[in-house]
Each structure stands twice: as C-alpha cells, then as structure tokens.
C-alpha cells in the first residue's frame, strides 16, 4: 500500500446541522494532528450538513464526502444534486452505489457507470460500494457479483483514473446487522477486487484503495485493517458517535 489507510464514517441519514457542529467539535478534540495520524479520515454526510463539515473539518485535514450525486451537470432532474454543485460546496468525495441506495433508490450499475466518471470530472473522489448478498455468498456467487459490479461500474473510467476511485467492499449481509466478515473473508474479497482492477491496470491495482465496510467497530477494526489488502474501513453505525469513530481511527496499526 502506498497511501495511508483511509477511515471514512458514513452517517447515512443522520446529522442535523446542530449535530454536525457538535460532532466536529468533539472529533477535533479527539483526533491527533494530521501529521501524527496513522490514517486519512473522512466523514460522509447528508447534503444539508456538508457545508458545516467543510467549514469545520477541512482545515484539520478531515475529508468530507456526500452520499450521492446525479450524473448530469444540470437540467430537469428535480430534487437531484450534481457533481459540480458538490465541488462548489468544497466536498472531497462522494459515496456511490451504497447497498442502501441500490436497494431502496433503484441505484443501478448503469447509472453508476455515469456517476463515477461525473464525480472524477468534477474533482471529487468516488467511494464506490460493491458487495454480495447473503444468498449470493451462500451460493458461492460472491466473485461473480463483485466481478459484475467492478466491470460495469468502472467501465467508463479511464485506466489512468482508476486509482482515484476508492472502492469499498461491503458485504450486504454485514451492513448494519452486527455481523462482520471475518478478517480472512474481508482479505479474500478485497484481494479479488484488487485483482479485478489489475485486469485493467497493474499500476492502478497497486495504488487503488479498497476499504472494508460492514459492522466495523472499535473492537474489530484493528484485525480487519491489518489484513494486507485492506486499505481502511467505511464505518456506518459506529461512526455516529465521535468517540467510537476516533477509537476506530486509533486502532489502525503502525505501518
Ligand atoms: C455503511 O453504512 O456503509 C456501513 C458499513 O454500515 P455499518 O458499519 O453500520 O454496518
């Protein structure tokens, strides 16, 4: 791994502006200075909290990400927000293809094919989520699902930009369930995702960050992040409390 691990908190649909302000204050008390951090840190939040987070966190080198965007720059898409709009607010990244959006908002691989390059074109790093259902894992179809998602979702990203995408392997059966992939399961799936990127570009495979997500907590973070191919974590529920999020960041092993 060339870059530091990346620990990103996904607030899901949590975080009024008042909660965001209080969160920033507490997180900044707990985080070491950026040059002493063993991990890069980010917070992925609803649109309405983004400007608060950018103002409070960016100068302390905490990255701020949105949780969705629309692939077009502007137009007749009521209720949507585009990549240039997010860039204007100053966000660094955007979560794309989260399983909750795939499940509840009909997010398709076809749409992701356009959303991922739209983020990159606006200077925003996509955090692309992929992962299998419980049924797929039990049927031995994890690799097939991951291959399909990686091929489809990254199809329109040039090889030179592949390493600018952060990929989060999030087995759906482990999200918000309290079930965590074992470190060995996380390692195996993430090595497979890296190899899929390597089918396009060996250089990108060496540089791309592939995170694990699914019920990461302070108690299990260290062992998962210590796996050779795991470049960090996307943390949902346990990131809503800044103390528990900071403990996960502290759990990142020494390089
Ligand atoms: C997530 O929302 O991306 C996630 C991994 O959630 P949790 O950590 O709660 O399983």
pLDDT-derived band at 53 (thresholds 50, 70, 90) equals very high
Residue nearest atom 6 of ligand 1, based on CA coordinates: 236
pTM for the model stands at 0.97
pLDDT-derived band at 139 (thresholds 50, 70, 90) equals very high
Ligand 1 mutation target, pool 15, 67, 216, most atoms within 8 A of CB: 216
Residue 51 token pair: 């400007």
**Ligand 1 contact, 170 CB (< 6 A):** yes
Condensed to tens digits (0 to 9), the pLDDT of residues 190-233 reads 999 999 999 999 999 999 999 999 999 999 999 999 999 999 99
pLDDT-derived band at 1 (thresholds 50, 70, 90) equals low
Residue nearest atom 3 of ligand 1, based on CA coordinates: 236
Give the separation between CA 171 and CA 193, rounded to whole angstroms: 13
Phi, psi angle pair for 152, to nearest 5° = -70, -50
Residue 132 token pair: 């299998």
Element (H, E) at 224: helix 221-225
Cα(5) to ligand 1 centroid in Å equals 17
pLDDT of residue 153: 98
pLDDT of residue 2: 63
Cα(212) to ligand 1 centroid in Å equals 10
pLDDT-derived band at 74 (thresholds 50, 70, 90) equals very high
Condensed to tens digits (0 to 9), the pLDDT of residues 161-179 reads 999 999 999 999 999 998 9
Nearest to 194 by CA among 246, 250, 154: 154
Condensed to tens digits (0 to 9), the pLDDT of residues 80-120 reads 999 999 999 999 999 999 999 999 999 999 999 999 999 99
Residue 255 has pLDDT above 90, yes or no: no
C-beta of residue 108 within 8 angstroms of C-beta of residue 96: no
Residue nearest atom 2 of ligand 1, based on CA coordinates: 236
C-beta of residue 195 within 8 angstroms of C-beta of residue 202: no
pLDDT, mean over the chain: 97
Condensed to tens digits (0 to 9), the pLDDT of residues 29-47 reads 999 999 999 999 999 999 9
Lowest-confidence pick of 63-72, 126-135, 153-162, 172-181: 172-181
Residue 15 has pLDDT above 70, yes or no: yes
**Ligand 1 contact, 71 CB (< 6 A):** no
Residue nearest atom 8 of ligand 1, based on CA coordinates: 236
Ligand 1 mutation target, pool 176, 178, 224, most atoms within 8 A of CB: 176
Cα(238) to ligand 1 centroid in Å equals 8
148 is catalytic: no
C-beta of residue 169 within 8 angstroms of C-beta of residue 190: yes
Residue 241 has pLDDT above 90, yes or no: yes
Give the whole-number percent of the chain exceeding pLDDT 90: 96
How remote is the C-alpha of 138 from its chain's centroid?
25
170 is catalytic: yes
pLDDT-derived band at 254 (thresholds 50, 70, 90) equals confident
**Ligand 1 contact, 215 CB (< 6 A):** yes
Cα(162) to ligand 1 centroid in Å equals 24
**Ligand 1 contact, 179 CB (< 6 A):** no
Choosing from 107, 132, 136, 170, the catalytic residue is 170
């Amino acid at each position: 791994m060339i870059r530091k691990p990346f620990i990103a908190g996904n607030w899901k649909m949590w975080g009024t502006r008042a909660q965001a302000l209080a969160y920033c204050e507490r997180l900044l008390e707990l985080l070491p200075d950026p040059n002493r951090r063993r991990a890069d840190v980010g917070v992925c939040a609803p649109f309405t909290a983004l400007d608060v987070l950018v103002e409070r966190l960016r100068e302390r080198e905490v990255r701020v990400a949105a949780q969705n965007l629309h692939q077009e720059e502007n137009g007749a898409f009521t209720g949507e927000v585009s990549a240039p709009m997010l860039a204007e607010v100053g966000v660094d990244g955007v979560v794309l293809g989260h399983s909750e959006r795939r499940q509840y908002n009909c997010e398709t691989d076809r749409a992701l094919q356009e959303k991922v390059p739209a983020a990159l074109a606006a200077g925003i790093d996509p955090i692309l989520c992929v992962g299998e259902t419980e049924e797929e894992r039990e049927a031995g179809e994890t690799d097939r699902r991951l291959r399909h998602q990686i091929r489809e979702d990254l199809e329109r990203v040039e090889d030179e930009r592949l390493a600018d995408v952060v990929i989060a392997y999030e087995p759906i059966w482990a999200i918000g369930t309290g079930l965590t992939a074992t470190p060995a399961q996380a390692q195996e799936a993430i090595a497979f995702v890296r190899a899929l990127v390597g089918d396009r570009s060996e250089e990108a495979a060496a540089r791309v960050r592939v995170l694990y997500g699914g019920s990461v907590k302070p108690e299990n973070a260290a062992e998962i992040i210590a796996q050779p191919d795991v470049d960090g974590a996307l943390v949902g529920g346990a990131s809503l409390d800044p103390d528990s999020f900071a403990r996960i960041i502290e759990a990142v092993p020494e390089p």
